[in-house]
Structure 1
């Protein structure tokens, strides 16, 4: 039986290339702790460090036949672990960015939905108060604010004087201001 613990890194790498599982186990036992410490210093997280080292060893086993260890095995192993560390950091950053983006989207949708609900409620209150105006005043007011007709156009359309139109719109605004309050009145003026 071979004493794998006595083999050099180059001999172990050659045996690994030929598919020798015991050589792989010896390499793992020889360098696992050192690679783990290296990864832990980068992550400061036991699980992530362990995952990076295990992924590196899994990749080494999967690519054992094409393994290109030129000078030293430990340098090759550190490089493999370093690549896994960078991959993990990139995945973590991507995941954080995705979660932040998703949270922003949820916040915007929620805010937009809340605004939409408030706007619909406000519109319903305003429409209710406009409908409560006397008929002629309501008709003139709606032509002015909802149809955007000028006082002159409303006067011509309804066969009344411009002064009557002006007076009716002014009175309607006074009534709405009192009933809806200043805030709702200002919102209404911005909306229409």
Structure 2
């Protein structure tokens, strides 16, 4: 009997949660090939499929302490792979739309240097207002808007409750909105 079949998927998952590297290795060996084929079938790009599955296994190890299964390990891995593939596809679409609109904007606007100067000034004003926020609020707001972290990720990173993070982001927006109006929604663009 092969080493891969000594444990069920669920037993391997339990061992993985305890930091058992051998269990992680067995999960990798058991699922890498089928997950790669699953991603490849959708993406039709070998390198992207490999990257997706590699990312999945990196995430699996990184978040092993906090992962919870609502079903089987294989169902979780398939769903995670599918979601990562769909996120990649959506990201590509957004990137293409952004680049197309940027090209269109550049082609139509002969005053681009003036626009860039105004954009730089606006970026500086926004950064200055964010720096004026209370220290912890500013840190949370930056992690939310420039690092694109979820409230849960910020709470974990800063050892705060999710409610605290959510409240601080709302308060920051409440302070910044009167100063910048509709532009506050575009902060990510200007300060990234």
Cα pair 1:36 1:49 within 8 Å, conserved: yes
Partner of 2:102: 102
Partner of 2:160: none
Cα pair 1:16 1:64 within 8 Å, conserved: yes
Partner of 2:34: 34
Deviation at 1:106, TM superposition (A): 2.2
* Counterpart-to-counterpart distance in 2, 1:22 and 1:5: 13
User: How does the TM-score come out when normalised to structure 2?
Assistant: 0.53
Partner of 1:13: 13
Task: Give ranges in structure 2 of 5+ residues lacking alignment.
Answer: 113-192
Cα shift readout 1:23-54 (whole Å, capped 9, x = no counterpart): 11110111111011111111111111111111
Matched position secondary structure for 2:109: helix
Task: Give ranges in structure 1 of 5+ residues lacking alignment.
Answer: 114-192
Cα shift readout 1:47-97 (whole Å, capped 9, x = no counterpart): 111111111111111111122123311101001111111211121111111
Cα shift readout 1:91-117 (whole Å, capped 9, x = no counterpart): 11111111111111122136x89xxxx
Superposition CA RMSD, Å: 2.0
Runs (4 or more) in structure 1 with deviation over 2 Å come to none
* Counterpart-to-counterpart distance in 1, 2:19 and 2:86: 28
Partner of 2:183: none
**Does 2:57 correspond to 1:62?**
no
User: How does the TM-score come out when normalised to structure 1?
Assistant: 0.53
Cα shift readout 1:131-157 (whole Å, capped 9, x = no counterpart): xxxxxxxxxxxxxxxxxxxxxxxxxxx
Q: How does 1:139-158 map to 2 (within 5 A)?
A: none
- The size of the alignment, in residue pairs, is 111
